[in-house]
Structure 1
Amino acid sequence: MDKLEAKNRIAELVQLLNKYGHEYYVLDQPSVPDAEYDQKMQELQRLEAKFPALVSTASPTQRVGGEPLDKFQKVEHHVPMLSLGNAFNEADLRAFDRRVTQLAAEPVVYICELKIDGLAIALTYENGTFVRGSTRGDGRVGEDITSNLRTIRSIPLTIQEKRSIEVRGEAFMPHHSFLALNKGREEKGEMVFANPRNAAAGSLRQLDPKVAASRNLDIFLFGYGKWEADSLPSHSERLKYLAALGFKINPEWKRCTTIDEVIEYVSYWSTERPNLSYEIDGIVIKVDDLQQQEKLGFTAKNPRWAIAYKFPATEAVTKLRTIELSVGRTGVVTPTAILDPVQIAGSTVQRASLHNEDLIKEMDIRIGDTVVLKKAGDIIPKVVRVIEEKRTGDEVEFSMPKQCPSCNSELAHLEDEVALRCLNPNCPAQLKEGLIHFVSRDAMNIDGLGEKVIEQLFQAKLIKTIADLYRLKKEELLKLDRMGEKSVQNILNAIEASKSNSLEKLLFGLGIRHIGAKAAQTLAAHFHTMDELCEATYEDFIAIDEIGEKMADSIVQFFSEEKVIELLQHLSTMDVNMTYLGPTQSQMTAIFSNQTIVLTGKMESFTRSEAKKLVEANGGSVTSSVSKNTDIVIAGEAAGSKYKKAQELNIPIWDEQKFKEAIES
């Protein structure tokens, strides 16, 4: 076969295979057997190998062809990807309808769509060819994940018309892909994903597209960013047009002429959602007419013509099989319910904290009970009640033990605490939990030393104290299971880098009772060195505004212990920094001086903890709820009810960019 014949045959195969792929992955109506598809794919691969100059970006062989990336590049959205305001009940939906109809001053028609629980993305096509895909990010700037998105076979590499367009959608992991992924990870001894959304987001943020390809993700398109001028006057017609171009549109959308029809649609899917093959967490309601959308416009964060109804937290019924006890780093013994596995709000739940003995007695929870579980905020599972009428008489009352489940030391109640504590400083469980705390992000932030690795090192008797971390040898680590040359070197590099942390990180990592990250920052900024801290008296500590009596007592007691002095000496000889490297109180800019700040939503550039520290370092205090005493609300993505409350109270609202600019200035 000469080059011209090969060119024609490759073009024919690309067109056929893309057509077959669209039928299979988008329409769910395959027109040829799998064997025929495979045979043509193999023929195409042979021809492209022989004539590499003829390989096109539209070829289905190029879905997984990229090399692993070092990092993702930033992408600016020409049209911001704004979040939606939330509705939680029928009253909220009717209030939304009243606002819309009053502002529009004419009847409106709504489009209702399922709110897919995945990762929001944008796809850009130029002259009909897929050229870039990105995450939502903060709504204005996302990350370029084109290589990973090309692995999703329901995303067309070319569309029916040679036009330029940017479309928006939700990438997600279907139930069958999620179950298969977690089963494989369990068999390998790897940590399973909590739910399909986390799995989808984690897959699309892999630097190696081959990993994303193995996860079998899917997508539904629901909107658009950049759109060339045309005569399509409504959102519903654009949805139909997107489907005609070859995009996968969720088929369950509905046009509703009244708010009552909207509420019926919401009610229907509230009960039918378990029957879907993918997760949804609500319903999106949009004004259909595009001219009305333009007239209604936007608030600072949300379109006025759309709202997201959020499903209430899901409940599930299951059996409580036993109660396990765990010992934390401060010696607190916590009971945990071990349950028959049950699906709730998109994830399989087998454990739920019972917090303490008083709660168990108050709810009269017994081993063998049938209980109702609820996920607080669709995240944390908790037992909310016992179904007493299902008791058989075989249930067993539970009482807390007198001895520590880890070291058999006598348990004690301290002061007026509800919790039971193990007071043995050499308790293995406390030592291990203390190490996990020491390497955590807010403490020494030693990347690669997660809970499982610490457990592994502890079981292998390679570490017992904090100082042991800095004595680890490469040859010791290489002997452990699943420890390769590269991962071991990364861990050792991270341990070495942690030696340069500022004093407050070490202070917090030491786990002094009553001393959190904020107090550690205050102490470090005040005393500057570990030596000065060790020599300080109770009166020195209590003189600091933010240090109370209990905290001062705890600090004095901690630094008076011989084993602590010995540990600090060891760390010092290992070149662990003992000096504060941050700004002094006099150097700190006071942009938030004496102001009360509320943080809400998710930020792109900071974790919640990091943003809190920045506010506090600049003179402000952070509270969890919005009130008339709040000075500023700093809102990230999906800000929710706090954002709404701030609007109602006319409290200044800053977005992430304004917060960053204030800090940097």
Structure 2
Amino acid sequence: MPLPDPAAPLPQDPATAAAEIADLMRVVAAADVDYHTRDAPTLSDAQYDTFKRRLRALEQAFPDLAAPESPTGRVGAMPAEGFGKVRHARPMLSLENAFAAQDVADFVARIRSFLNLAPGAALPFTAEPKIDGLSLSLRYEDGRLVQAATRGDGTTGENVTANARTIAEIPQQLTGAPAVVEVRGEVYMAHDDFARLNASGVDRVFANPRNAAAGSLRQLDPEVTRRRPLRFFAYGWGELSAPLADTQFDAVHRLAGLGFPVNPLTRRVDDLDAMLAAWTDIEQRRATLGYDIDGVVYKLDDLALQARLGFRSTTPRWALAHKFPAELAWTRLERIEIQVGRTGALSPVARLAPVTVGGVVVSNATLHNEDYIAGRDSRGTPIRDGRDIREGDWVQVYRAGDVIPKIADVDLARRPADAVPYVFPARCPDCGSDAIREEGDSVRRCTGGLACPAQAIERLRHFVSRNAFDIEGLGTRQVEAFWDAGWLREPADIFTLARDHADELRASEGWGERSVANLLAAIEGRRTIPLARLIFSLGIRHVGEVAAAVLARHFGNWAAFVAAVDGAAAEPAAQAADDRTRRAALADSPCWAELSSIDGVGPVLVRALVTAFHQPAERAMIDRLVAHLDIQPDSGAVQADSAIAGLTVVFTGTMERMTRAEAKARAEALGAKVAGSVSARTDLVVAGPGAGSKGRKAAELGVRVIDEDEWLAIAKA
């Protein structure tokens, strides 16, 4: 069922409003259970708050439609089965949320109005980080911990006393405390402990520290809780037999004196400006705290005034949670690393001090490309007002939905004095080959090709693909398996597989004598390869099937092709840093000019060829491959008047007197188009023994089918 749209205008008629209220109640109630009972939230905090505000607005606009069981009138969710129930002596309420400075100003104004205070009268508050964990109430009688309970639905919680006793930061005995005191606070998990817990593999993997803390405290077996690194901050109280102090601030410090951890960032603030300044300061410290917070809580400091203000049904009038933007956070960029993708693209990644954004712990973010780091777009226009990004910077991270976290901004005021501009590498960090950026491209790419470990598997997959070497029995799965076994690192290794690893292959799971023999025979049959297929198989950027065929037809043989590329690599144009300089150098570069003048071959493709053949490691790999091959020359002539010129031909089954590669090359030389599958557009199918499904498909479609003898007659015509 789709979620309601909280951004739509409020409906005007009761029937529409009733239907939306029912949908919102369902969504919010389910989210409460997921968050409080299952410890597996399905909505982000921002989504939950938005839906709940929408529901409250509808109930205010149509009060007759507000249901007694509405989630806006309760806190949390019902306690889970499996735990004993505890009825709180004083309800554990939630807090009213604020999302903007004006919301905080309205909160202060409401309190002043309620208390009828003079405009200039002092009205201190406390401000403290809002810990993102699980609320817990600890009841002490005569100094002894007798009961621990979760919030539950605010009135009744779960009895987790045995589990709470395993948390080292929760005192078992108090000295100098009132006879009865209920201490309330938050159970949480530090970032480092959370990372170690997830990495240990002992328990389930948690999405974030809050889920880990809640799931750990609410274990039916206390020994599981004991193994989990839980911590505790005290920030309030429930039932008391005697007051702790006269003010919120002093009462919290009294709790610290009794042995409870209290947050060191808790402070007393005198007015609205100080409240907002505290929010900003705590938000800026967020990434350095080592634990998750999702806002700042303001509480009226004078406890007598708190008592006068009292409570609404689910929230106190004297407290407010000023939330941080759910999908934004500031954190420190510790270093920039370069990852090389399967296509050779160099992608910068920010390694961050961990921070929770949108309910997920973020420690990495994309930096897009070198222009983005430098503070400009691909056209050179400034972004972020030209502010670059440096290692050590404080950066704003954003995450919307499930997309990869990104960096939106940088705080120059907090930039370290020794931070230096980031220099994007001009060589591949994986293989040391040149990393070049073509004109008009925003990405710098490694030119190592087959010699680059980051690109090797992808290039090998391309090498054995249908339109390249097309080795039967050697597909993507086999390439990956042989790579993992250490047998295959470059194309030449395919042709030494029989010599070096045949016995190991026969002993491998899923391989038998016959399947190994078939594979080795297929490899042997591909030692003869048409020139165009070889050029295409190398996987050089910009060199597709059409370009490979054009090059093969122009040069005719491998030696002439390599000589032209080597000649261009030695000329001035090859050394030019940009296309403008390269074009100016063409007058003195006959080999470069020859390549560039070929119909269908432009300067970008020529540059890609020259670059690939000019990289020592990749050139050595190409030379090692060619040593195993018999490269068929390309006649350069297409017989436009042949019997199959213009026809689409499909080869299937086994060719007994001509390899499949030879047959395809000959068909192309006769002006035919060779396809890999039979369709209504197929004109001719050449079928050898074992034709299988392609032969049957041709019969169904009425496509002419010939055998190898008829094909040889055509091929020799």
Q: What TM bracket, shorter-length normalisation? A: 0.3 to 0.5
TM value normalised by structure 2: 0.39
Structure scoring higher RCO (CA < 8 A, sep ≥ 6) equals 1
Give 1 or 2 for the bigger CA radius of gyration: 2
